[in-house]
């Protein structure tokens, strides 16, 4: 089970379809959808939050949220 | 009478919506308030043709009409408004060409509310540079809407937009909600549509999911309830709705929008690598902070001295040129110094807001939030709390308003409660004079001034106690609230002078009229209490003249003696005397007690109050400044100086910790919607101040 939180900087993954109900609505609305590619751009000092690029949106999310979003690494 | 068109600007944050608003309205804008909530309502007027004027409302930036913060809920409320005077005639959705996909989600939601709509694609001048091409004709057809290409910063396409606004009657209304909802659950949404004939199915769906039912009749409310019985289904449907909207947007953009990836610059990545670096990131941030504080002090000192002098001479002028009497005294001793006490902070506040506005405009502030989030979370706050804590060094009032971007209630509340610990500019005059009195003007190692170091230590103390206070609250407050946090990291851009200027102007105005009203009112009350009293007050002049009949005194000394006698017997003097036993263990006398009471109007009033109280007892004519008056004040019990080291430190600590600002308490009440928190703040910070001041005085004595 890989999640966004298990990506290394520069790695990418596809958000899995089973995540639909887990992803907070706000994140969905910002473009973080199942089947979409996520790239981890940067990790803040102290390992949290994460800086991701998804669907053209550049977002910072906390590790807790990121670890719930299952992905398949590319 | 020209035609008036009500326009609402809606869009994602960071799309240049504010730039467009400023471009359209310029200085013809004012900030009001939405009824019942504490969100600023920005409105302005704009002449769009010979015979029509637009009234433009700039709604808070949002990613969707499903709100997650107070600011965002305003957007939905404005759109669901059944009040015809409030409902916009036409909506302009501002979208940024780079993030078109995400921007179109909000567009599609608003389109389904069936209000005339214009899609303004902003930053169109950047298309070529970013390798973006859009088939506008086709996109218009697919989205069933009017599209205008604009560049708000470069003032391009604005006329075309104005024309489209003027002809809003010819805009097509279009909604895909029926089709969309049938993909989710046909029966459910068809039944939902039958609840009310006055509202669209989508409007009812919004009211249901947001529990925003105030517009419905009780019968309709009852019917709607049955649809909301199952919350998890509701959530699932909301998620599905979002997914289906995106699917449609994706298929439309596939046909009409291309981006040449080779044109993408990696400037953002390069800058991010520096600004979010685990060492350089912090160094740059702290370096900037030092630069900001340095500038706030350096640049503001000259205008502040000027304002100080100006109001003193206006007071003097009023006193000597108007007929003597109650009204003149009220003007020269109450109102004018009261207004001066507010105006004097404008330079500092404006400079600080200037820096904050620049940091926000450039997109840098998001990187700071990103860097600080984890650290701040240990203390029960959010990375976003860093902005209020910096603003708090100018004034706690706008700082507390700036906490609205924090979506977790617990994190926001803690930030509100600890912000007043940061050293605001009202504490500075008090600090400056006390430090000058008790700390020798020496240099450490020949270049570090002791006095400056003390001031720096007080800043550190303020910030440290904010952090520590937050930690204690974090461990004790039993509030369950989601700590969900998501923040967009916008593109870096050069700040626009116009936006920065208008932002600073607006925030400064808000401070002057918000805090100013309260400070002025309390100044007048204090003046009244200080210049009226019981029988001893009325006979002060006679008593003094009798008592010193055998002494040879100059007329100035006589009037000073009378003034101090009057003050001692005025209502405020009586109050000061009443609290003397309480403040005595801290090393204060009744006069300082009066100063403490007066400080509730605004901390800096302390100095002015003492200046009024002290009369000069020796015959030296050149002792005129407040500092000299304070330095020569003697504690009659010990025969020592009143402002010795122990009392000085005790006072500094008291001012560092006490919550002595009515205006801030009023704002905290407004933002937390209860008296509970401001009272906790007042008592908690007051006890801490008393305790530390007591200990300091008893140990140092």
Provide the b/e sequence for A14-23 (b: ≥16 CB within 10 Å). Answer: ebbeebbeeb
Instruction: Dig out the tokens for B9 from the structure.
Output: 């600007």
Kindly list the distances between the CA atom of residue A2 and the CA atoms of A15, A22, A42, A61, B294, in Å, as whole numbers in the listed order.
Answer: 10, 15, 18, 17, 48
| B430-442 confidence digits (pLDDT tens) | 898 899 888 888 7
Strand B257-259 and strand B117-122: pairing?
A: unpaired
Chain B: residue nearest A31 by CA? B102
Q: If you average pLDDT over residues B180-188, what whole number do you get?
A: 92
| B40-52 confidence digits (pLDDT tens) | 778 999 999 888 9
Residue A8 DSSP symbol: P
Cα within 13 Å of Cα(B509), Cβ side: 11
pLDDT at B425 over 90: no
Residue A49 DSSP symbol: S
pLDDT at B236 over 50: yes
Distance between CA atoms of residues B129 and B638, nearest Å: 78
Strand partners, B257: B134
Cβ of A57 within 8 Å of Cβ of B102? The answer is: yes
| Interface A:B, Cβ pairs < 8 A | 108
SS3 letters across B338-401: HHHHHHCCHHHHHHHHHHHHHHHHHCHHHHHHHHHHHHHHHCCCCHHHHHHHHHCCCCHHHHHH
pLDDT at residue B35 in the model: 62
Q: If you average pLDDT over residues B609-636, what whole number do you get?
A: 61
> Burial level of B483, CB count in 10 A (0-12/13-18/19+)?
middle
H or E segment to which residue B628 belongs: helix B626-631
Cβ of B486 within 8 Å of Cβ of A56? The answer is: no
> Burial level of A11, CB count in 10 A (0-12/13-18/19+)?
middle
Distance between CA atoms of residues A7 and A67, nearest Å: 10
**Contact present, B265 and B226 (Cβ < 8 Å):** no
**Contact present, B91 and B165 (Cβ < 8 Å):** no
Kindly list the distances between the CA atom of residue B257 and the CA atoms of B15, B129, B260, in Å, as whole numbers in the listed order.
Answer: 18, 15, 10
pLDDT at residue B288 in the model: 92
Output phi, psi for B324, to 5 deg. -60, 145
Distance between CA atoms of residues B100 and B142, nearest Å: 14
pLDDT at B11 over 70: yes
Q: If you average pLDDT over residues B143-161, what whole number do you get?
A: 94
Query: Nearest Cα to B168, choosing from B60, B90, B79?
Result: B90
Q: For residue B255, name the pLDDT band (cuts at 50, 70, 90).
A: very high
> Burial level of B236, CB count in 10 A (0-12/13-18/19+)?
middle
- The reply to whether A11 touches chain B by the CB within 8 Å rule is no
Distance between CA atoms of residues B29 and B660, nearest Å: 34
What residues contact residue B693 under an 8 Å CB cut-off, 6+ apart? Answer: B586, B587, B650, B651, B653, B654
Distance between CA atoms of residues B327 and B318, nearest Å: 11
**Contact present, B66 and A25 (Cβ < 8 Å):** yes
pLDDT at B76 over 90: no
pLDDT at residue B632 in the model: 77
What residues contact residue B140 under an 8 Å CB cut-off, 6+ apart? Answer: B146, B147
Q: If you average pLDDT over residues B594-620, what whole number do you get?
A: 69
Option in B101, B373, B487 nearest A55 (CB): B101
Q: Three-state DSSP class for B73?
A: helix
Instruction: Dig out the tokens for B483 from the structure.
Output: 């700590």
Contacts A52 to B, Cβ<8 Å? none
Output phi, psi for B381, to 5 deg. -115, -175
Chain B: residue nearest A50 by CA? B370
Distance between CA atoms of residues B330 and B521, nearest Å: 12
Can you give the length of chain B in residues? 701
- The reply to whether A5 touches chain B by the CB within 8 Å rule is no
**Contact present, B161 and B92 (Cβ < 8 Å):** yes
pLDDT at residue B38 in the model: 60
pLDDT at B458 over 90: yes
Sheet holding B486-488, edge to edge: A2-3, A70-73, A12-15, A37-43, A50-54, A57-61, B486-488
Contacts B105 to A, Cβ<8 Å? 29
Q: A54 vs chain B: nearest CA distance in angstroms?
A: 11
Can you give the length of chain A in residues? 74
Query: Nearest Cα to B383, choosing from B393, B391, B397, B371?
Result: B371
Q: For residue B660, name the pLDDT band (cuts at 50, 70, 90).
A: confident
Cβ of B375 within 8 Å of Cβ of A46? The answer is: yes
Kindly list the distances between the CA atom of residue B698 and the CA atoms of B435, B477, B647, B687, in Å, as whole numbers in the listed order.
Answer: 19, 33, 9, 16
Distance between CA atoms of residues B530 and B573, nearest Å: 7
Cβ of B281 within 8 Å of Cβ of A45? The answer is: yes
Contacts B99 to A, Cβ<8 Å? 56-57
Option in B239, B269, B371 nearest A28 (CB): B239
pLDDT at B619 over 80: no
- The reply to whether A10 touches chain B by the CB within 8 Å rule is no
Cβ of B101 within 8 Å of Cβ of A49? The answer is: no
Q: A12 vs chain B: nearest CA distance in angstroms?
A: 16
Among A12-16, A27-31, B337-341, B433-437, the range scoring the smallest mean pLDDT is B337-341
Q: If you average pLDDT over residues B472-493, what whole number do you get?
A: 87
Q: Three-state DSSP class for B52?
A: strand
Distance between CA atoms of residues B629 and B595, nearest Å: 15
Contacts A56 to B, Cβ<8 Å? 98-99, 101-102
Cα within 13 Å of Cα(B437), Cβ side: 27
Q: For residue B617, name the pLDDT band (cuts at 50, 70, 90).
A: very low
| A43-71 confidence digits (pLDDT tens) | 999 998 999 999 889 999 999 999 999 99
Query: Nearest Cα to B157, choosing from B346, B357, B23, B356?
Result: B23
Q: If you average pLDDT over residues B372-388, what whole number do you get?
A: 93
pLDDT at B222 over 90: no
Cβ of B489 within 8 Å of Cβ of A45? The answer is: no
H or E segment to which residue B138 belongs: helix B136-143
Provide the b/e sequence for B625-659 (b: ≥16 CB within 10 Å). Answer: eebebbbbbeeeeeeebbbbebbbbbbbbbbbbbb
Output phi, psi for B181, to 5 deg. -70, -30
Whole-number average pLDDT of chain B: 86
The gap between the terminal CA atoms of chain B, to the nearest Å, is 75
Instruction: Dig out the tokens for B444 from the structure.
Output: 């450490």
Contacts B273 to A, Cβ<8 Å? 42
- The number of beta carbons lying within 10 Å of the beta carbon of residue B131 is 15
What residues contact residue B301 under an 8 Å CB cut-off, 6+ apart? Answer: none
Residue B332 DSSP symbol: I
**Contact present, B335 and B520 (Cβ < 8 Å):** yes
Contacts B285 to A, Cβ<8 Å? none
Q: If you average pLDDT over residues B249-258, what whole number do you get?
A: 93
- The number of beta carbons lying within 10 Å of the beta carbon of residue B135 is 13
The sign of the CA dihedral B231, B237, B238, B243 is positive
Distance between CA atoms of residues B467 and B379, nearest Å: 7
Cβ of B485 within 8 Å of Cβ of A61? The answer is: yes
Cα within 13 Å of Cα(B166), Cβ side: 16
Query: Can you list the alpha helix ranges (DSSP code H) found in B531-570?
Result: 535-538, 540-547, 555-569
Instruction: Dig out the tokens for B19 from the structure.
Output: 């730039």
Distance between CA atoms of residues B260 and B294, nearest Å: 45
Among A30-34, B61-65, B480-484, B493-497, the range scoring the smallest mean pLDDT is B480-484
Kindly list the distances between the CA atom of residue B474 and the CA atoms of A65, B2, B43, B686, in Å, as whole numbers in the listed order.
Answer: 21, 56, 38, 20
Cα within 13 Å of Cα(B13), Cβ side: 19
Instruction: Dig out the tokens for B597 from the structure.
Output: 């009471």
What residues contact residue B616 under an 8 Å CB cut-off, 6+ apart? Answer: B557, B560, B623, B629, B632
pLDDT at B66 over 90: no
Distance between CA atoms of residues B571 and B575, nearest Å: 6
| B554-606 confidence digits (pLDDT tens) | 676 677 677 777 777 888 888 888 999 999 999 998 888 888 888 877 787 78
Contacts B63 to A, Cβ<8 Å? 26, 29-30
pLDDT at residue B663 in the model: 83
pLDDT at B691 over 80: yes
Q: For residue B275, name the pLDDT band (cuts at 50, 70, 90).
A: very high
Query: Nearest Cα to B102, choosing from A57, A43, A19, A2?
Result: A57
More confident residue, B434 or B526: B434
Cβ of B243 within 8 Å of Cβ of A28? The answer is: yes
pLDDT at residue A14 in the model: 94
pLDDT at residue B615 in the model: 45
B90 torsion bin: left (phi>0), alpha (psi -120 to 50), beta (else) = beta
Residue B47 DSSP symbol: E
Contacts A39 to B, Cβ<8 Å? none
């Amino acid at each position: 089970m890989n999640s966004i939180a298990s990506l290394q900087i520069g790695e990418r993954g596809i958000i899995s379809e089973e995540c639909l109900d887990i992803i907070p609505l706000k994140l969905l609305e910002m473009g973080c959808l199942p089947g979409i590619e996520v790239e981890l751009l940067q990790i803040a000092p102290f390992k949290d939050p994460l800086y991701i690029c998804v669907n053209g949106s550049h977002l910072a999310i906390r590790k807790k949220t990121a670890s719930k979003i299952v992905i398949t690494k590319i | 009478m020209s035609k008036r068109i009500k326009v609402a600007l809606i869009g994602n944050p960071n799309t240049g919506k504010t730039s467009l608003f400023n471009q359209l309205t310029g200085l013809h804008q004012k900030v009001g308030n939405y009824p019942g909530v504490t969100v600023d309502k920005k409105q302005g007027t704009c002449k769009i043709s010979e015979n029509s004027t637009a009234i433009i409302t700039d709604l808070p930036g949002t990613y969707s009409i499903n709100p997650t913060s107070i600011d965002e809920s305003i957007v939905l409320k404005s759109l669901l408004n059944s009040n015809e005077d409030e409902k916009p005639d036409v909506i302009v959705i501002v979208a940024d060409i780079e993030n078109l996909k995400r921007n179109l989600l909000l567009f599609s939601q608003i389109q389904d509310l069936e209000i005339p709509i214009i899609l303004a694609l902003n930053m169109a001048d950047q298309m070529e540079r970013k390798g973006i091409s859009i088939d506008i004709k086709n996109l218009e057809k697919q989205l069933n809407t009017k599209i205008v290409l604009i560049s708000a910063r470069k003032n391009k396409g604005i006329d075309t937009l104005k024309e489209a606004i003027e002809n809003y009657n010819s805009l097509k209304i279009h909604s895909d909600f029926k089709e969309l909802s049938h993909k989710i659950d046909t029966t459910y949404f068809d039944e939902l549509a039958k609840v009310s004939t006055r509202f669209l199915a989508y409007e009812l769906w919004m009211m249901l999911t947001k529990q925003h039912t105030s517009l419905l009749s009780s019968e309709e409310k009852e019917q709607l309830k049955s649809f909301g019985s199952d919350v998890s289904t509701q959530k699932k449907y909301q998620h599905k709705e979002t997914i289906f909207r995106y699917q449609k947007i994706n298929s439309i953009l596939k046909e009409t929008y291309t981006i040449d990836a080779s044109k993408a610059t990696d400037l953002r990545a390069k800058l991010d690598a520096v600004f979010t670096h685990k060492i350089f990131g912090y160094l740059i941030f702290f370096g900037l902070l030092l630069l900001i504080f340095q500038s706030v002090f350096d640049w503001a000192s000259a205008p502040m001295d000027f304002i100080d002098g100006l109001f003193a001479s206006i007071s003097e002028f009023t006193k000597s040129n108007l007929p003597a009497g109650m009204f003149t005294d009220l003007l020269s001793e109450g109102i004018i110094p009261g207004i001066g006490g507010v105006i004097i902070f404008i330079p500092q506040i404006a400079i600080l807001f200037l820096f904050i506005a620049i940091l926000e405009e450039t997109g840098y502030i998001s990187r700071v939030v990103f860097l600080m989030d984890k650290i701040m979370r240990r203390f029960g706050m959010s990375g976003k709390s860093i902005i209020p804590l910096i603003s708090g060094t100018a004034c706690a009032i706008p700082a507390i308003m700036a906490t609205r971007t924090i979506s977790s209630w617990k994190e926001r509340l803690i930030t509100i409660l600890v912000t007043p610990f940061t050293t605001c500019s009202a504490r500075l005059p008090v600090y400056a004079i006390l430090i000058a009195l008790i700390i020798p003007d020496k240099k450490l190692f020949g270049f570090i001034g002791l006095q400056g170091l003390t001031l720096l230590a007080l800043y550190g103390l303020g910030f440290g106690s904010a952090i520590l206070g937050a930690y204690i609250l974090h461990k004790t407050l039993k509030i369950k609230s989601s700590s969900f946090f998501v923040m967009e990291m916008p593109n870096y851009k050069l700040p626009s002078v116009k936006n920065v200027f208008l932002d600073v102007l607006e925030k400064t105005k808000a401070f002057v009229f918000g805090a100013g009203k309260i400070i002025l009112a309390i100044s007048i009350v204090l003046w009244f209490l200080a210049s009226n009293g019981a029988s001893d007050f009325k006979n002060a002049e006679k008593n003094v003249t009798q008592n010193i009949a055998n002494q040879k005194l100059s007329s100035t000394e006589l009037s000073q003696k009378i003034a101090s006698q009057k003050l001692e017997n005025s209502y405020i003097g009586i109050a000061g005397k009443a609290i003397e036993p309480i403040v005595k263990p801290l090393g204060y006398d009744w006069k300082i007690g009066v100063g403490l009471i007066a400080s509730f109007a605004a901390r800096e009033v302390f100095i002015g109050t003492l200046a009024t109280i002290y009369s000069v007892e020796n015959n030296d004519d050149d002792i005129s400044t407040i500092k000299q008056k304070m330095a020569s004040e003697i504690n009659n019990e010990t025969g020592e100086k009143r402002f010795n080291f122990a009392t000085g430190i005790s006072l500094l600590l008291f001012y560092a910790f006490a919550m002595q600002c009515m205006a801030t308490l009023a704002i905290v009440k407004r933002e937390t919607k209860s008296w509970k928190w401001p009272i906790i703040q007042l008592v908690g910070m007051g006890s801490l101040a008393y305790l530390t001041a007591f200990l300091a005085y008893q140990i140092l004595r």
